[in-house]
A = this chain, B = another copy of it.
Amino acid sequence: MNVSRLLESVAMYISLTPDETQRFVSFLKSRKMRKRHFLYQEGDTNTQLAFVVDGCLRSYSVDRNGFEHVLQFAPPGWWIGDMRSLLTQRPGTLYIDAIDDSEILLILKSDLEQVYTTIPQFERYFRIITEKALIAFQHRLIGNMSLSAKERYESFCRLYPTLIQRLPQKQIAAYIGVTPEFLSKMLNQPAADK
């Protein structure tokens, strides 16, 4: 089990003793996921959080017309899950799948609670991680309201420069909030520069 990437992330914000580290790791389960395979589907109760070691996952919802909307891409080093389902312990509204062959570390909600009570420093770690996620989503929301589709695309390219190359356009469209058709037209008609 390759936990070094996660321990690096943890070490950025808190200091653990070898024993604490050991106990934390004992709660983790490693899992390989093949491209296009699901971690959860809508209606499942999400009882775990996933840390991406290698590959890339995504979470998305499907609206009543069948259109997908990407909530998050999770490259290596990122956490992903259906936070709402995790918190409420009720069936979620998100799908989470692998967009590449991936390796992830899972921790169950119940074990996470264990971690919080036995190694309180993790409250801090996840507080900070969550704050950063919150800031990112706030920023994205503002962007969605104040930028044009073209600007959102450019902003996306800046944010995920590595992802942009291996993601199908369709996924990018579902992230920035336009139809695949429109994104295609936009990219092939740079006639007017601004």
Query: A138 to B87, Cβ gap below 8 A?
Result: no
On chain B, the residues within 8 Å of A140 by CB distance are 141
Total contacting residues, chain A, CB less than 8 A: 32
Question: Contacts A127-B126, A137-B134 hold; do A144 and B177 have CB atoms under 8 A apart?
Answer: yes
Within 8 A of B (CB), among A125-183: 126-127, 130-135, 137-142, 144-147, 177
Query: B146 to A87, Cβ gap below 8 A?
Result: no
How far does the alpha carbon of A145 sit from the alpha carbon of B179 in the complex, in Å?
A: 11
On chain B, the residues within 8 Å of A69 by CB distance are 142, 145-146
Interface residues of A (CB under 8 A from B): 61, 63-64, 67, 69, 71, 83-84, 87, 116, 120, 123-124, 126-127, 130-135, 137-142, 144-147, 177
